Structure 1
Amino acid sequence: MTDLVVKSNKLVQALQTLTLAETRVIQLAIVDARETGKGLCSSEPLELNAARFAQAFNVSNDAAYLTLIEAEESLFKRQFTIINDDDTLTKSRWIQDANYRKGEGRILVTLTRIVIEHVTRIDGFEQYFTSYHLKQTSNFSSVYAVRLYELLMQWKSVGKTPMYELKKFREQLGIGVNEYPRMEPFKRRVLHVAIEQINESSDILVEYKQHKKGRSISGFSFSFKKKKDTSVKAVKTNSPSYFFSKMTDPQRHLFANKLAELPEMGNYSQGTESYAQFAVRIAEMLKDAQKFEELFPYLQKVGFQSA
């Protein structure tokens, strides 16, 4: 699976209140439902198990098990509100049913009709959808970081957002009316924490700008850029690993036959096998990166580098 979370822009912008645990369950449900087709109708509920959850979010199986229990008890009650183009509101639950299998470490869920419409109708309408890989948010410990990252990803093609009006922005992050009513704790415990986690654990670097009406902050806008990719090191074009990635199957069999006739390869032969049998076994060895590197000097000797 590619673990691609896909939501319509309207669902990304929805007003919602989810805990981090509930958000993770919804993320995983969207990923797996789109990949398997299950959970998109009541006749085929989606199974989420503790092992899958633990792998996706880098937590222990016990922590994943407890999260699924929590989700079964609370997620069914959660609602969200979508603001339509005509400014009317559509309210919906996230899931229409949940069935926790006690002692089995798994939960069966079915997404609601509204959610299904906003995570599957993408072909030909890509500009109206936001997508990101689950791993980019899997190490966040703040639900506000997840929500902010999703809001940013809606604008990933331009790297900056319009101004989010403060009241609506708070609702999009899932902050209750009585939570962090003053700006100082809001910035310190919500905004700064979210930005710090995004900058540390995701694929982007983000900074914000605050906007004022008079002396009061009226909203925030964000700019962000992709981090330089340090996960993939450049491969030297004369290294064994470079040639391993370039070798085709016909080349592998061709050079396996040449290697089988090299006297220096005698140490690799077994018993009384024929040259043809030896060549077949060498071809299998060349599928292994470590063995390929070991045999690379012999490959060069029979002309592979100039092939």
Structure 2
Amino acid sequence: MKSDKGKNMSDLVVKSNRLNTAIQNLSLVEIRLIQIAIIDSRETQTGLTSDSPLVISAKRYAECFNVEIDTAYDVLLAAESTLFERRFSFVNERDNQVKTRWVSQVEYIRGDGAIEVILTPAVVKEITRINGIENFFTKYTLGQTAVLNSAYSVRLYELVTQWRKATKTHLFDIETFRGQLGLGVNDYQRMSDFKRRVLDSAVAEINEKTDLKISYDQEKKKSKIIGFKFKVSEKERTKSVLKASNGKDCNTADMFTVKGLSDKQIGRIARNAKFMADYNHLVSSTSPAGQDSSAWEFEMTNRLKRDASQFKKRPIRDYLDL
């Protein structure tokens, strides 16, 4: 199995709007695996052909979604049987409905705690033909959806983030919308149940945890709800100011992010003895990061890039001077 050590993966999920709006029924775990597959396939150019499969390790999954390594092993083992069976449909450029799978092959690599996948031609086409016309593609950072605990929340985020520049979406027809969220024909058929158990909870989680603030209006025909339109806006950064220990005024948002820092600087922070002492409790002593300095640096660098707000004992940049 290829080593994860030293990889400097982007966490940008990029796919065509056509793929983004597909009718699908992935679980939360399966959505996350497809997200990793999209990112790593684009970055490494593997998994796109039958002679170049993509390896997704338990370590990679655990670091992306901040779960225990044992949980990641269980996820990958389960995915061997479920992910291959997952199908989706979309409308192609000829205005015909296409039905396909996400992966054409999946294999659990026993002893390595990893799965090896090959994406189907339809998926490859929709994640690789990035030709500079940004209006036709949806992109977001993995960190925004990694914190979401519901497949409905992730799918709604993906659907509305496509409209963040426009600030308002088109009308999501209710039946198509249900399929895009991953609901079956018999799931939450009553509108009150759909709104309470799916839509409202997804909106609330997105508003609480991500960079978007969304709301919706329902559209009716006579007395029947036929769809929803969403308003989408990006949250403003926190503007509160703290008095730093050196007596200077510092913006809170800047103090606890790695924005503007190079990979080399972030690596220095992760290796800093004080940083290690402050955050040693974040990893298990039996995990790779708890036993090996290189694994520690790899994991903490990724955590800092993904969500530095969890490191609040002191301003992040202070570790460069300690």
The TM-score normalised by the length of structure 2 is 0.72
Task: Return the match for 1:168 from 166, 176, 197.
Answer: 176
Q: Kindly tell me: are residues 177 and 235 of structure 1, through their superposed partners in 2, closer, same or farther at Cα, counting changes over 3 Å?
A: same
Q: Tell me, yes or no, if structure 1 residue 30 matches structure 2 residue 27.
A: no
**Structure 2 residue aligned with 1:44:** 52
Task: Return the match for 1:153 from 155, 161, 171.
Answer: 161
Task: Return the match for 1:15 from 23, 26, 32.
Answer: 23
Letter of the structure 2 residue corresponding to residue 65 of structure 1: Y
Q: Tell me, yes or no, if structure 1 residue 92 matches structure 2 residue 100.
A: yes
| 2:146 match: secondary structure | coil
**CA offsets per residue over residues 150-188 of structure 1, 9 Å max, x none?**
111111111110110101100111100011110011001
Give how far 1:15 is off.
0.8
Are the equivalent residues in 1 in contact too, given 2:14–2:140 (CA < 8 A)? Answer: yes
| 1:137 match: secondary structure | helix
Runs of 5+ consecutive residues of structure 1 not aligned to the other structure: 247-288, 295-307
Are the equivalent residues in 2 in contact too, given 1:240–1:293 (CA < 8 A)? Answer: no
Runs of 5+ consecutive residues of structure 2 not aligned to the other structure: 1-8, 261-316
Task: Return the match for 1:142 from 144, 150, 160.
Answer: 150
Q: Tell me, yes or no, if structure 1 residue 205 matches structure 2 residue 209.
A: no
Q: Distance in 1 between matches of 2:249 and 2:163?
A: 41
**Structure 2 residue aligned with 1:265:** none
Q: Distance in 2 between matches of 1:51 and 1:220?
A: 39
Give how far 1:34 is off.
0.6
Report the aligned-residue RMSD. 2.7
Structure 1 vs Structure 2: percent identity of aligned residues? 45
Are the equivalent residues in 2 in contact too, given 1:240–1:292 (CA < 8 A)? Answer: no
Q: Kindly tell me: are residues 91 and 63 of structure 1, through their superposed partners in 2, closer, same or farther at Cα, counting changes over 3 Å?
A: same
The TM-score normalised by the length of structure 1 is 0.76
Q: Distance in 1 between matches of 2:319 and 2:101?
A: 54
Q: Distance in 1 between matches of 2:231 and 2:30?
A: 28
Q: Distance in 2 between matches of 1:136 and 1:293?
A: 30
**CA offsets per residue over residues 40-61 of structure 1, 9 Å max, x none?**
1111111101111011111111
**Structure 2 residue aligned with 1:250:** none
**CA offsets per residue over residues 228-284 of structure 1, 9 Å max, x none?**
123997999x95999xx99xxxxxxxxxxxxxxxxxxxxxxxxxxxxxxxxxxxxxx
Which structure's CA Rg is the greater one? 1
Give how far 1:291 is off.
8.7
Length, aligned pairs only: 251
Letter of the structure 1 residue corresponding to residue 15 of structure 2: K
**CA offsets per residue over residues 20-49 of structure 1, 9 Å max, x none?**
111110011101111111111111111101
Moved over 3 A (4+): 230-236, 238-242, 289-294
**Structure 1 residue aligned with 2:14:** 6
Give how far 1:216 is off.
0.8
Letter of the structure 1 residue corresponding to residue 112 of structure 2: E
| 2:131 match: secondary structure | coil
Q: Kindly tell me: are residues 68 and 212 of structure 1, through their superposed partners in 2, closer, same or farther at Cα, counting changes over 3 Å?
A: same
Q: Tell me, yes or no, if structure 1 residue 126 matches structure 2 residue 139.
A: no
Task: Return the match for 1:112 from 109, 120, 123.
Answer: 120
Letter of the structure 1 residue corresponding to residue 31 of structure 2: T
Are the equivalent residues in 2 in contact too, given 1:81–1:90 (CA < 8 A)? Answer: yes
